[in-house]
Structure 1
Amino acid sequence: MGICAEANLYPTMNAEDLLRMIDVLHREKDISKEVLFLGLEEAIAAAVRKRLGVGEDLIVNIDRSDGEISVEDDEGEYEFDLEDLGRIAAQACKQTFLQKVREAERDVLYDEYETRVGSLINGTVQRFDSDNLVINLGRTEAFLPREERVRGETFSPGDRIRAIVLEVRKEGPRVRIIVSRTHPDLVRRLFELEVPEIADNIIEIRRVVREPGYRTKMAVLSQDPKIDCIGACVGVRGSRIKAVIDELRGERIDIIRWSDSLETLVMNGLKPATIHLDNIYADVDNHAVVVVVDEDQQSLAIGKKGQNVRLASRLCGWDIDIKTREEFEAEGFGTSSADHPKRDSPAGGKSGSEDPEGGAADAQDPGVQSAELKPIPEKSPDTPGETDSSDSGEASSRAAQAGAEN
């Protein structure tokens, strides 16, 4: 509360000053005038009861138009002047009113940020508080805990930062806002900023999976057959995806085309490895998929320390086991696809991966697991997807994305 507004609640305050104080608080704190009037009425009533030694039946009313104060009890209603309180009672009244204002301000902030859970916010790094990074949002502060920070990222006071609002809760007279830079929805919101077709719901992000700081797979689907969903996300010469990669401090982003066919989605998710649809065997009972690959494609399909297959498995929602033809036959699976019924539709969700650099093994150790956080409401509902993927469109967008990263 401003010093000017705090200093005004004294016995010498007249009705005009009282209305002016309410108006100033309303504009500065964005608190409704009615809430302020009610809080002031309660504060004055408590001071009057204490001053006169009367019961709880005494109530105070403030005229909203002229600021006149009236007191009412069992014996009737009569006019009242703040000067009748005395300085000590007026000071107690002031403290009570300030507490009401702080509570109202807390409620306003809570209501504002509670509706922004899952949204992107911009702030300035202010200081470190134990393991938390304190971010200045203007009217309030947000906290970025250590577990919600990407390993290897460093910030200094004064740095600009973007994050996702993860949780908002009341703690006494304050509102505590928890933000995250590891949540998959950070990637989603960044692409919504960079790609107008996503913001306009022409392109839908079906799923995003991350190993923060290392790699992300994002599956997209175009509602307009004339628009290449992968090319639109990559941008001309990789301009759009490069902006997102820069914000994520160089995190690798793979974009793939979503498909409602499990086999096609698995094939796309395991790129840059070359997979043939006839070599994908789904075990519906165990919710698992066996993928047979050539020996020269096995390392690409698995990725460094299993990163590629791990993300592809989370993308599809099925366990994926990579085997060479020799391993597949040696374990007695046989070569007939008739013995291994396939599932025609995958588990719903969003994510994907189109490797922009030809699928070279990652140079970094994906030691940080993607955070399994409290769910944030999705903006896009599941809709029927495509049943196949365009290799030519993905190849061209892969080249554009590689150019952006280089």
Structure 2
Amino acid sequence: MNTQEIVRIVDNIARDKNLDRESIFLDLEAAMVSGAKKHYGDPDCDVVVNIDRNNGQITAYKDNAPIDIKELGRIPAQTVKQVMIQKIKADERDSIYTEYAERRGELITGTITRKERGSAVISLEGRAEAYLPKTEQIPGETHHTGERLRAVIADVREDTSQVKIKLSRTHRDFIRRLFEAEIPEIAEGIVEIRALSREAGYRTKIAVGSNDDRVDPVGACVGVRGSRIKNIVDELSGEKIDIVPWSDSSQDLITNAIKPAECTEIALCFELGRATAVVPESQLSLAIGKHGQNVRLAARLTGWDIDILTPDEYNQEVEELTEIYKEFSTGDEHLIDKFLALGLLTVHDIEEVGPQPLIDELGLDQDLAQRLVDLAIETLKAEKSGSESAE
């Protein structure tokens, strides 16, 4: 092998395996040092090897005396080969880990090379292998060898022998990255995904806002005749996606998030982080959703704990609260309205918030606020006692 061929081989390895050229030269020098020490049978001898990075010329010294690496023999050459293989594998492993660790959360495309106990092993651009566990696959999907699929990089870990790259198609970020890939306005930052909640394989709710008053964020995501959202739904094997406009108003956001059901009223209790949404009786099942999915996703999207009531149920709550506090109403005819304005619909709510919000938000004096809370506690105790007696 001539010296120029060394340079060419190093350049090829650096390009094909995405390794630093200088690190390969250092590895090669270290491997030749190991081979020389093997040849002389003295691991403690002082051997120095230098390779010219431009022309591949090798200069070597043992105890400051020049030596010819080419004349060391077959066994040292085999040692050099083994050491080089180990070092290049280690460098490649470090390179893969560094590259993909920095790409956590990115959307990536790969080809399934084999299936292992439910998991899919995926080749990433021919450079690394990743795995898609069964738990990270969308429920109901089936994959086959040779199929190309998209997923997000969920985790990257470095083991002693390999880098383990874990992919996911169930993570919320998978939806986020698909929207970025399919919708130019999101990729350009004109439209933003402000909130997202998902139950993979079933339904996703996504709230979008626009940084340009001329751009309708929902329309941009849906596309002409639904063309854009159709591509995403097809990628998700038919998973339903509700796209709603973002609002800085919690009431408006919750109203949007509950859709396709229509809310007639929203009561917010900031102290408890709870919202009560009133919907017509005919839309109750729609608001709650199958197995509670619609209201559950709406709660995650908005960050509020959402209760769904019909108008009759809401009125009944108000009537019961009015009856319990009727002795106080003579002193303040707007007391119940004040409770409702705070989102307090039941004695449970009043007992839970305690007297301080009644003092701070309603302007009640401390004694009255405490009496109102004490009555709530007594009412709950009586209800519990009556329930136990009935049993």
What is the TM-score with the length of structure 2 in the denominator?
0.79
Cα RMSD (Å): 1.9
User: 3-state SS of the aligned residue for 1:340?
Assistant: helix
1:108 and 2:95 are equivalent in the alignment:
yes
The alpha-carbon deviation at position 156 of structure 1 amounts to 1.0
For 1:183, the equivalent position in structure 2 comes to 171
- Per-residue CA deviations over 1:336-366 (Å, capped at 9, x if unaligned) read 55313469xxxxxxxxxxxxxxxxxxxxxxx
Uncovered stretches (5+) of structure 1, i.e. residues with no partner = 1-12, 344-406
For 2:51, the equivalent position in structure 1 comes to 62
The alpha-carbon deviation at position 19 of structure 1 amounts to 2.1
For 2:273, the equivalent position in structure 1 comes to 287
User: 2:258 and 2:196 mapped to 1: Cα distance?
Assistant: 15
1:224 and 2:203 are equivalent in the alignment:
no
User: 2:172 and 2:342 mapped to 1: Cα distance?
Assistant: 29
For 2:200, the equivalent position in structure 1 comes to 212
The amino acid that maps onto 2:56 is G
**Would you say the 8 A contact 2:129–2:165 is kept in 1?**
yes
For 1:29, the equivalent position in structure 2 comes to 17
For 1:98, the equivalent position in structure 2 comes to 85
The alpha-carbon deviation at position 27 of structure 1 amounts to 2.4
User: 1:282 and 1:156 mapped to 2: Cα distance?
Assistant: 49
For 2:6, the equivalent position in structure 1 comes to 18
User: What does 1:4-153 correspond to in 2, within 5 Å?
Assistant: 13-52=1-40, 53-55=42-44, 57-72=46-61, 75-76=63-64, 78-137=65-124, 138-153=126-141
User: 2:178 and 2:92 mapped to 1: Cα distance?
Assistant: 30
**Would you say the 8 A contact 1:191–1:198 is kept in 2?**
yes
The amino acid that maps onto 1:135 is I
User: 1:39 and 1:301 mapped to 2: Cα distance?
Assistant: 64
Residues 296, 54 of structure 1: alpha-carbon distance in 2 compared, 3 angstrom cutoff: closer
The alpha-carbon deviation at position 39 of structure 1 amounts to 0.4
**Would you say the 8 A contact 2:60–2:68 is kept in 1?**
no
The alpha-carbon deviation at position 38 of structure 1 amounts to 0.5
Residues 312, 336 of structure 1: alpha-carbon distance in 2 compared, 3 angstrom cutoff: farther
The amino acid that maps onto 2:303 is G
1:316 and 2:302 are equivalent in the alignment:
yes
User: What does 1:388-403 correspond to in 2, within 5 Å?
Assistant: none
User: 2:45 and 2:339 mapped to 1: Cα distance?
Assistant: 81
Residues 294, 39 of structure 1: alpha-carbon distance in 2 compared, 3 angstrom cutoff: same
User: 1:34 and 1:157 mapped to 2: Cα distance?
Assistant: 38
Uncovered stretches (5+) of structure 2, i.e. residues with no partner = 323-334, 344-391
The amino acid that maps onto 2:289 is G
Q: Is the helix fraction higher in 1 or 2?
A: 2
For 1:192, the equivalent position in structure 2 comes to 180
The number of residue pairs the alignment matches comes to 327
User: 2:163 and 2:321 mapped to 1: Cα distance?
Assistant: 58
User: 1:98 and 1:216 mapped to 2: Cα distance?
Assistant: 48
The alpha-carbon deviation at position 46 of structure 1 amounts to 1.4
Bigger Rg, structure 1 or 2: 2
1:272 and 2:263 are equivalent in the alignment:
no
1:174 and 2:175 are equivalent in the alignment:
no
**Would you say the 8 A contact 1:69–1:80 is kept in 2?**
no
**Would you say the 8 A contact 2:204–2:240 is kept in 1?**
yes
**Would you say the 8 A contact 2:222–2:229 is kept in 1?**
yes
**Would you say the 8 A contact 1:102–1:173 is kept in 2?**
no
The correspondence for 2:284, drawn from 298, 310, 323, is 298
User: What does 1:312-391 correspond to in 2, within 5 Å?
Assistant: 312-331=298-317, 332-333=320-321, 338-341=338-341
User: What does 1:156-167 correspond to in 2, within 5 Å?
Assistant: 156-167=144-155
For 2:381, the equivalent position in structure 1 comes to none
- Per-residue CA deviations over 1:87-144 (Å, capped at 9, x if unaligned) read 0111011100111111111222222222221111111221112231111222221100
Higher relative contact order (CA 8 A, sep 6+): 1
1:252 and 2:252 are equivalent in the alignment:
no
The alpha-carbon deviation at position 198 of structure 1 amounts to 0.8
How many percent identity over aligned positions? 47
The amino acid that maps onto 2:259 is K
